[in-house]
With several copies, the nearest count.
Chain A
Amino acid sequence: SQKAQLQQQIHKLNDVCWDLCVDKPREKMDGRTETCLCNCVDRFVDTSLLVAGRFQNLINKHQ
């Protein structure tokens, strides 16, 4: 289902961004970690869009 696929993507994103942004777990989530997590998600989406766009271009060229 589409909901399950969305959940799957959030698991993947949280996995990647947790490894990138969280070093030692602390008492509270600090501002720097929060900023890193938000930027990580947004830049990951940017990267996916860039990759999908270039791929589409490649397909169009070959047609």
Chain B
Amino acid sequence: AQELLQKISEKCFKKCITKPGTTLDSSEQRCVAMCMDRYMDSWNLVSRTFSNRLQ
């Protein structure tokens, strides 16, 4: 899971924090949380689709 967490942090930082300020404001926090949930949805969907092709 270590690599997944690193990927999420990097992808979601790039999507949500375009002008880093002195704190992570609430809209950035919400964006990161949503982005993380979607990234894991995507990961699950991609894994399933890929596994189906391997069979």
Contacts and interface: CB of A to CB of B under 8 A. Distances in A.
A34 B34 contact: no
A46 B32 CA distance: 10
Interface hub of B1, B7, B15, B43 (most chain A Cβ within 10 A): B43
Instruction: Give chain B's interface residue range (CB within 8 Å of chain A).
Output: 35 or more
Interface residues of A, number: 38
For the complex of A and B, 7 pairs with smallest distance between CB atoms: A39-B20, A25-B35, A43-B20, A41-B49, A48-B9, A46-B24, A25-B38
A51 B21 contact: no
22 contacts: A9-B50, A10-B43, A10-B46, A12-B10, A13-B50, A14-B43, A15-B7, A16-B13, A24-B15, A26-B38, A34-B45, A39-B20, A39-B21, A43-B13, A44-B9, A45-B50, A47-B16, A48-B5, A51-B8, A51-B36, A54-B33, A54-B36
B20 A10 contact: no
A29 B39 contact: no
A57 to B, nearest CB: 11
Given A40-B20, A42-B53, A50 B42 contact: no
